[in-house]
């Protein structure tokens, strides 16, 4: 081999290595982004799972019913959350035996105190900071597990706001979504795969479904607003309006995955059933459908996860309202987890930022769990024919 | 009457009734069989036959009734409706039960009903499309009655100005004329989409090439699920990431090199949107690249090429249509993406080439116009539907082109 061709070969090999490195670095970059993303959200959100509390000497005199602020000493009353004071009159009315007694107890601290104890920017004055420091030395402050976050609804006080009403709203919306889209989607898939003849109508329905799958979600919001709310008259912000909108949105996903599951059942099974005299519906209901249930379930869970994380169409049907109490029906005003995240992220008060990140963590955990279930289901029941 | 009550009524009342009807119909058929007659269909189909008789007339009647009620031709108090419904159910069941006899072709009839049911379910997807198109078009037409189509398409100023005041019921107080020129909005949309594609296309495509051509089983086993996790993250979360982490970072970086950047700059949402689309591009391209026949690669290797030369000169040109179609789908997804831009991009339409300035997008304007307290028939609210119509048209065109391209590609390699 002469020198120049040797040189060229070397150059080509160098180029080969460079290209491979290039491609690998793209993959690594995607991985790094994923890690940075999760690290960022976790580092912002994990502190919200602990909440500051202050030990106070609360004396329940008759006056407290009128002016709850009197329950604790004037000095610390600035540091205690106003939500605790708000609840006092009712608590005393329900438990009259408490009147006239006094208790030493841990109560929820103000949001600013909470942020100060977590070394985050806060609105405390120097005097208040000194006071908190003094309380800390006396072991009268602590960061306890934040149960409020899971049992409270939204609130205009960051320290007592939680995800409960949003979580219940999400459950309601998902019930409507799945109750609508799962049967409709599976029936459509059965029709297209097993019953429909191959004619222009069927083909145009297929094209239509594929197009629906690619329509931006916000346009479903426009549909929900114009038709469900303005025309049919379903109450705005209700779980019913949101659920139906999301149901239409997840319909194409369910149809496409169910069709794939039905198609995966080999024809020999159908032919055997026809051979012993089964009708078309009997073939489907007794043989094809049971065999494709794992595939249909997998697709449905993925559609559910997608619908659960969707926000844009729900904003348009009004599901970003301030909802402090969990909805008790399908037509009540409700909000959902992603909408709650959106509302909190645009709130001006700083302590909401960590709650936003914490709500994101909860949502992501649920979604990843759902997707994992789908993957495991597919692995466990996947059949090769 | 609330919805919960209806659901309860349905589950508590109609399902047991249907069960009873099924039982009676089946028993009648079986009784015939015991007398030595030959049944035309399996016994349970006679039960279903009675159920069909029980519900079909009642449902048809209530559907007609609901339409009449909605149009406003007649209004009957609810108890009357309920009683009428129950009478129809009972009458239907009685009639159906009397028609059951051994030679009745119950299976064929029930099958026909099922077929229609399936067909109706299928039609819902068509109704959805029609619904989206109609709801957008009707409101958009109202908008174009107020604002000329030409001004909407070519105008360069978007200032709803007094339209806002009219919507709030204070029209004519301040007579700044409302202008609805959508060019700056579309410019912002395309700018952010362009930034997103600049991030997503190289990273996604190169990652796909590595996974399809170089990676071993183990790496694929890790990388694919990781990318799926990236794809499963809700967009509102990306929006939070863009607004809280990436935007300030961009501003600080720009300051450090002496540039001025707004917190609502287009770069941050664009980049995060790109991250969101990476898994979309990489999984589609991975599928396309993997579907290129192995023989093409082997032919190329036989000529003594290195792997990268094969990829660049054989595989990629062959996969090009597929990659183009993936790219178009990704663009249509970026154009319609809402939450990231709502949370991280600006609200003010701004016609500029500078990605560090704040600019707004179509989806932001839609959300902004429809979540305010404006009257539903104000020009600004209706402008959301005109923007939605444009968005729908653009995404549909992109999807159709992409579908045509991928079909050609599939035919070529007989996938």
What residue in B sits closest to A29 (Cα-Cα)? Answer: B203
How many Cβ pairs closer than 8 A exist between chain A and B?
Answer: 257
Indicate whether B111 pLDDT > 70: yes
Indicate whether B202 pLDDT > 90: yes
Q: Model-level pTM? A: 0.89
Do residues B240 and A360 lie in contact, with contact meaning Cβ atoms separated by under 8 Å? Answer: yes
Structure tokens at B143: 């908008």
What residue in A sits closest to B1 (Cα-Cα)? Answer: A331
Whether the CB of A29 is below 8 Å from some CB of chain B: the reply is: yes
pLDDT at B1: 46
Q: CA A253: distance to chain centroid? A: 19
pLDDT at B146: 85
Using alpha carbons only, give the angle A336, A337, A340 rounded to the nearest 5 degrees.
85
Q: Which of A12, A240, A252 sits opposite B306 (nearest CB)?
A: A12
Q: CA A111: distance to chain centroid? A: 24
Contact criterion met (CB < 8 Å) for B3 and A31: no
Strand order in the sheet with A141-145: A102-108, A50-59, A141-145
Best mutation target among B338, B344, B364, B381 (most A Cβ atoms within 10 Å) is B338
Indicate whether B410 pLDDT > 50: yes
Q: Which of A27, A41, A219 sits opposite B388 (nearest CB)?
A: A219
Contact criterion met (CB < 8 Å) for B225 and A375: yes
Q: CA B337: distance to chain centroid? A: 11
Indicate whether A17 pLDDT > 90: yes
What residue in B sits closest to A13 (Cα-Cα)? Answer: B306
- ipTM of the prediction greater than 0.85, yes or no: yes
What residue in A sits closest to B279 (Cα-Cα)? Answer: A30
More confident residue, A151 or B411: A151
Give contacts of A211 with chain B, Cβ < 8 Å: 129, 396, 399-400
Whether the CB of A283 is below 8 Å from some CB of chain B: the reply is: no
More confident residue, A286 or A101: A286
pLDDT at A42: 93
Whether the CB of A42 is below 8 Å from some CB of chain B: the reply is: no
Q: How many CA atoms lie within 13 A of A4 on its CB side?
A: 0
Q: How many CA atoms lie within 13 A of A98 on its CB side?
A: 18
Other Cβ atoms within 10 Å of A348 Cβ, number? 5
Using alpha carbons, list the distances in angstroms from residue A266 to A134, A298, B291.
75, 19, 23
Q: Which of A23, A184, A210 sits opposite B206 (nearest CB)?
A: A23
Question: pLDDT tens, B238-288?
Answer: 999 999 899 999 999 999 988 888 888 889 999 999 999 999 999 999 989
Structure tokens at B4: 């919960």
Indicate whether B415 pLDDT > 90: no
Q: Band the pLDDT of A370: cuts 50, 70, 90.
A: very high
Q: Which of B204, B275, B332 sits opposite A214 (nearest CB)?
A: B332
Least confident of A307-311, A360-364, B262-266: B262-266
Q: Band the pLDDT of B173: cuts 50, 70, 90.
A: very low
Kindly report the backbone phi and psi dihedral angles of residue A55, in degrees, each rounded to the nearest multiple of 5, phi listed first: -90, 120
Work out the minimum CA distance from B288 to partner chain A, whole angstroms.
17
Mean pLDDT value of segment B387-404: 92
- Give CA–CA dist A134/B134, Å, rounded: 66
Give the three-class secondary structure for B358. Answer: strand
Work out the minimum CA distance from B162 to partner chain A, whole angstroms.
23
Structure tokens at B293: 């026949």
Whether the CB of A176 is below 8 Å from some CB of chain B: the reply is: no
In three-state form (DSSP H/G/I as H, E/B as E, the rest C), the secondary structure along chain A is CCHHHHHHHHHHHHHHHHHHHHHHHHHHHHHHHHHHHHHHHHHHHHHHHEEEEEEEEEECCHHHHCCHHHHCCHHHHCCECHHHHHHHHHHHHHCHHHCCCEEEEEEEECHHHHHHHCCCCCCCCHHHHHHHHHHHHCCCEEEEECCHHHHCCCCCCHHHCCCHHHHHHHHHHHHHHHHHHHHHHHHHHHHHHHHCCCCHHHHHHHHHHHHHHHCCHHHHHHHHHHHHHHHHCCCCCEHHHHHHHHHHHHHHHHHHHHHHHHHCCCHHHHHHHHHCCCCHHHHHHHHHHHHHHHHHHHHHHHHHHHHHCCCHHHHHCCCCCCCCCCCCCCCCECCCHHHHHHHHHCCCCCHHHHHHHHHHHHHHHHHHHHHHHHHHHHHHHCCCC
B14: exposed, middle or buried (Cβ count in 10 Å: 0-12, 13-18, 19+): middle
CB contacts under 8 A, A 194-233 vs B, are 195-196, 205, 207-212, 214-223, 225-227, 230
Structure tokens at A149: 């976050």
Contact criterion met (CB < 8 Å) for B128 and A345: no
Work out the minimum CA distance from B129 to partner chain A, whole angstroms.
7
Give the three-class secondary structure for B159. Answer: strand
Contact criterion met (CB < 8 Å) for A205 and B122: yes
pLDDT at B94: 87
Give contacts of A360 with chain B, Cβ < 8 Å: 237, 240
């Amino acid at each position: 081999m002469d020198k120049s061709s040797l040189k060229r070969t070397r150059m080509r090999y160098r180029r080969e290595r460079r290209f491979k490195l290039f491609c690998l670095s793209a993959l690594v970059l995607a991985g790094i982004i994923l890690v940075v993303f999760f690290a960022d959200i976790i580092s912002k959100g994990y502190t919200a799972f602990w909440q500051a509390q202050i030990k106070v000497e609360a004396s329940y005199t008759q006056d407290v019913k009128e002016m709850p602020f009197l329950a604790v000493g004037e000095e610390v009353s600035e540091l205690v959350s106003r939500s605790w004071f708000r609840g006092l009159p009712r608590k005393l009315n329900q438990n009259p035996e408490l009147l006239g007694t006094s208790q030493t107890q841990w109560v929820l601290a103000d949001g600013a105190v909470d942020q100060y104890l977590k070394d985050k920017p806060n609105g405390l004055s120097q005097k208040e900071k000194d006071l908190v420091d003094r309380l800390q030395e006396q072991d009268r402050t602590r960061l306890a597990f934040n149960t409020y976050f899971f049992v409270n609804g939204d609130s205009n006080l960051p320290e007592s706001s939680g995800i409960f009403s949003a979580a219940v709203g999400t459950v309601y919306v998902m019930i409507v979504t799945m109750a609508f889209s799962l049967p409709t989607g599976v029936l459509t898939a059965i029709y297209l795969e097993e019953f429909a003849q191959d004619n222009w109508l069927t083909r145009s329905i297929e094209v239509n479904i594929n197009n629906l799958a690619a329509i931006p979600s916000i346009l479903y919001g426009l549909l929900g607003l114009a038709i469900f709310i303005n025309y049919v008259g379903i109450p705005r912000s209700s779980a019913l309006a949101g659920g139906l909108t999301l149901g239409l949105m997840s319909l194409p996903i369910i149809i496409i995955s169910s069709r794939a599951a039905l198609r995966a059942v080999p024809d020999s099974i159908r032919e055997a059933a026809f051979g012993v005299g089964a009708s078309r519906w009997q073939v489907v209901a007794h043989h094809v459908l049971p065999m494709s249930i794992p595939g249909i379930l997998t697709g449905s869970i993925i559609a559910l996860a997608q619908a659960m994380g969707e926000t844009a169409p729900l904003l348009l049907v009004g599901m970003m309202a301030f909802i402090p109490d969990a909805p008790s029906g399908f037509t009540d005003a409700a909000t959902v987890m992603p909408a709650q995240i959106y509302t909190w992220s645009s709130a001006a008060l700083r302590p909401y930022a960590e709650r936003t990140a914490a709500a994101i963590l909860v949502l992501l955990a649920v979604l990843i769990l759902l997707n994992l279930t789908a993957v495991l289901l597919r692995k466990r029941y996947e059949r090769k024919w | 009457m609330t919805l919960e009550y209806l659901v309860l009524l349905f589950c508590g009342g109609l399902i047991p009734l249907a069960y009873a009807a099924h039982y009676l119909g089946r028993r009648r058929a079986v009784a015939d069989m015991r007398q030595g007659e030959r049944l035309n269909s399996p016994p349970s189909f006679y039960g279903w036959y009675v159920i069909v008789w029980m519900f079909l007339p009642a449902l048809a009647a209530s559907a007609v009734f609901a339409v009449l009620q909605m149009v406003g031709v007649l209004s009957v108090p609810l108890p009357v409706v309920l009683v009428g419904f129950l009478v129809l159910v009972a009458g239907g069941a009685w009639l159906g039960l009397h028609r059951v006899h051994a030679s009745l072709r119950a299976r064929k009839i029930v099958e026909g009903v099922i077929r229609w049911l399936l067909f109706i379910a299928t039609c819902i997807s068509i109704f959805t499309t029609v619904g989206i198109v109609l709801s957008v078009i009707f409101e958009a037409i109202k908008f174009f009655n107020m604002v000329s189509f030409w001004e909407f398409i070519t105008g360069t100023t978007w200032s709803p100005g007094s339209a806002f005041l009219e919507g709030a019921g204070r029209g004519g107080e301040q007579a700044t004329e409302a202008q609805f020129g959508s060019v700056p909005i579309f410019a912002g949309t395309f700018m952010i989409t362009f930034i997103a594609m600049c991030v997503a296309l190289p990273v996604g495509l190169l990652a796909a090439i590595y996974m399809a051509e170089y990676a071993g089983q183990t790496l694929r086993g890790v990388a694919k699920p990781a990318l799926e996790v990236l794809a499963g993250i809700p967009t509102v979360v990306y929006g939070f990431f863009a607004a809280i982490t990436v935007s300030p970072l961009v501003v600080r970086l720009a300051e450090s090199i002496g540039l001025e950047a707004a917190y609502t700059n287009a770069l941050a949402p664009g980049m995060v949107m790109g991250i969101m689309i990476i898994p979309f591009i990489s999984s589609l391209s991975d599928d396309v690249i993997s579907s290129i026949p192995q023989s093409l690669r082997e032919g190329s290797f036989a000529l003594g090429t290195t792997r990268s030369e094969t990829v660049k000169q054989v595989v990629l040109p062959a996969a090009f249509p597929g990659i183009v179609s993936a790219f178009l789908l990704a663009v249509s997804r970026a154009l319609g993406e809402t939450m990231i831009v709502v949370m991280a991009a600006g609200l003010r339409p701004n016609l500029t080439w500078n990605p560090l300035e704040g600019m707004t997008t179509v989806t932001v304007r839609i959300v902004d116009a429809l979540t305010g307290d404006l009257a539903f028939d104000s020009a600004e609210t209706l402008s959301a539907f005109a923007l939605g119509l444009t968005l729908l048209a653009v995404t549909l065109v992109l999807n159709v082109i992409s579908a045509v391209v991928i079909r050609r590609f599939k035919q070529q390699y007989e996938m």
